[in-house]
Amino acid sequence: MAWLRTAFQDELDGVTTSLVELSVLVNEAMQKATHALLTANLSEAEEVISSDDRVDAMAHDLDNRIIEIIARQQPVASDLRALVTALRMSSDLERMGDMAHHVAKITRLRHPAAAIPSELLLTIEEMGKCVRVVAEKCTLVITERDLDKALEMERDDDEVDRLHRKLFATLLDESWPHGTETAIDMTLLGRYYERYADHAVSIARRVYFLVTGKYSDDSE
Amino acid sequence: MAWLRTAFQDELDGVTTSLVELSVLVNEAMQKATHALLTANLSEAEEVISSDDRVDAMAHDLDNRIIEIIARQQPVASDLRALVTALRMSSDLERMGDMAHHVAKITRLRHPAAAIPSELLLTIEEMGKCVRVVAEKCTLVITERDLDKALEMERDDDEVDRLHRKLFATLLDESWPHGTETAIDMTLLGRYYERYADHAVSIARRVYFLVTGKYSDDSE
């Protein structure tokens, strides 16, 4: 029955391919959302907002495919764990897409004004770059099960947290001149970037555990 | 093989029991977190913070049990769907516990000062009551697959959203005297309550879909 095992392996590979596609898509969405945010570009923001349905539909289709594979192949042990983990990764990726969507909606809400005051342009730009690095490594972790990259992502996430604290420090500076509305926007934006990175790290931890049977940190 | 089917049914019932336990636990945590927040009660907040590990451990154990049931019983069709849905519900409940934990941490951060300014005590109290109703119905939806309650929860969630908008309106009032730090806290709190209710509604939608094969709203 070697052909059966091979057909199953092909199906698992197909699941990985779909996860990678989703991962690339949400990374593109967040990069575009960040660019739209920094440049007050409404049409880019609209693109991100409308593309989120595609991410959701892809995640939904993938989930159904995974459940169908479990039902038909009745995998046990590590194959079953891999498929259940893929379901969770799909859910993380879908939420990452939601975060890009939320960022884009703040750009749209404030347009034609810029959502980001000049004092915070650099911090938000850095956060955007930092989550880009995290998301690109996440794609590699999914594709190649690169465990070094998975561990690096823990440290990259610390950098996201550092920028998040820097954002709050700017808001809390006595001389903050932009009022409550902008403070609310910045608080929500900070949270969206932080959650986006958290979901990417969560994916890396799932892969790490799947491959090694160990946790890459102490928090799980 | 009727006994096998029965043993399997017992296992499914055991999964439901654990989901109900988790649901009751996170509801208690959020109620206690809200009470601690409104009364600046540090010891209550600490209880919520330390109980979150228990929620996480229970969710983790339940997930392992579900995967083990899938591996051993190799269910197909509706039984498999029910187990996969249970995995997702466990994840929603764990996140609801995280939200209670986040609320409690704001109380601890501002103690001995009260985190909530007097203008917002009533709104936050109402939000707390509203998410309590949502969480109690969520428990009933899990236990009894009560579809009427599942549909009611969509409307209850609209009320949470209304209170969330009211919170922002208060923050954005010209006469808001409490500065940026409090505005940041209130923005995050609003988001935590909103997300808590969203996860409860998401559980109700999953049960609705499992029972009827239809979506209880158009958003999924």
What pLDDT, on the 0 to 100 scale, is given for residue B130?
98
Average pLDDT over residues A63-86: 94
pTM of the full structure? 0.94
Please tell me if residue A41 touches chain B, with a CB cutoff of 8 Å. no
* Structural domain contains residue B220: no
| Residue of chain A nearest B60, judged by CA positions | A220
Establish if A76 belongs to a structural domain.
yes
Task: Please state, rounded to an integer, the average pLDDT across all residues of chain A.
Answer: 94
Q: How many A-B residue pairs are in contact by the CB < 8 A criterion?
A: 58
CATH number, position A32? 1.20.58.220
User: Is the Cβ–Cβ distance between B26 and B93 less than 8 Å?
Assistant: yes
CA distances to A191, B15, B142, B143, B158 from B220, in Å: 24, 25, 19, 23, 17
In chain B, what residues touch A67 (CB-CB under 8 Å)?
Answer: 80-81, 84
**Do residues A56 and A122 touch, judged by C-beta distance below 8 A?**
no
B36 vs B27: CA distance, rounded Å: 14
pLDDT at A120: 96
Residue A216 φ/ψ, nearest 5 degrees: -85, -5
Judged against a pLDDT cut of 70, whether residue A2 lies above it is answered with no
pLDDT level of residue A4 (50, 70, 90 thresholds)? low
CA distance A81 to chain B (A): 8
Q: Output helix, strand, coil percentages for chain B, rounded to the nearest 5.
A: 85, 0, 15
For residue range A6-45, what is the model confidence (pLDDT) as tens digits?
A: 788 999 999 999 999 999 999 999 999 999 999 999 999 9
Query: If you measure CA to CA, which chain B residue comes closest to A73?
Result: B74
Cβ atoms of A117 and A178 closer than 8 Å: yes
Measured distance CA(A50)–CA(A113) in Å, rounded = 21
Residue in A167, A112, A115, A157 with CA at minimum distance from that of residue A133:
A157
Distances (CA, A) of B8 to A76, A168, B58, B208: 17, 52, 21, 22
Q: Which of A83-92, A161-170, B75-84 has the lowest mean pLDDT?
A: B75-84
In-domain check, residue A219: no
| B218 found inside a domain | no
Share of chain A above pLDDT 90, in %: 87
Confirm whether A218 is domain-assigned: no
Whether A198 shows a pLDDT value over 90: the answer reads yes
What sign does the dihedral B106-B112-B113-B119 (CA atoms) show? positive
Q: Has residue A219 got a pLDDT over 50?
A: no
The owner of tokens 């009727």 is: B2
> Between A3 and A208, where is the model more confident?
A208
> For A138-148, b where at least 16 C-beta lie within 10 A, e where not — what string?
bbbbbeeebee
Q: Indicate the number of domains in chain A.
A: 1
In a domain, A122, yes or no: yes
Question: In the prediction, which pLDDT does A177 show?
Answer: 86
Residue A116 has pLDDT above 90, yes or no: yes
Render each residue's pLDDT in chain B as its tens digit; 220 residues.
Answer: 556 668 889 999 999 999 999 999 999 999 999 999 999 999 999 999 999 999 999 999 999 999 999 999 999 888 999 999 999 999 999 999 999 999 999 999 999 999 999 999 999 999 999 999 999 999 999 999 999 999 999 999 999 999 999 999 999 988 888 989 999 999 999 999 999 999 999 999 999 999 999 988 754 4
Q: B88 — contact with chain A (CB < 8 Å)?
A: yes
CA dist A126 and B210 (Å) reads 43
The domain of A17 spans: 2-212
Q: Which of the four pLDDT bands, split at 50, 70 and 90, describes residue A220?
A: very low
What integer pLDDT is reported at residue B5 of this predicted model?
65
Q: Is residue B219 part of a domain?
A: no
Separation CA B170–CA B168 (nearest Å): 5
Q: How confident is the model at residue A179 (pLDDT cuts 50, 70, 90)?
A: confident
Chain B residues touching residue A191 (CB < 8 angstroms): 188, 191
Question: What residues of chain B lie within 8 A of the CB of A77, using their CB?
Answer: 71
Q: What is the ipTM of this complex?
A: 0.93
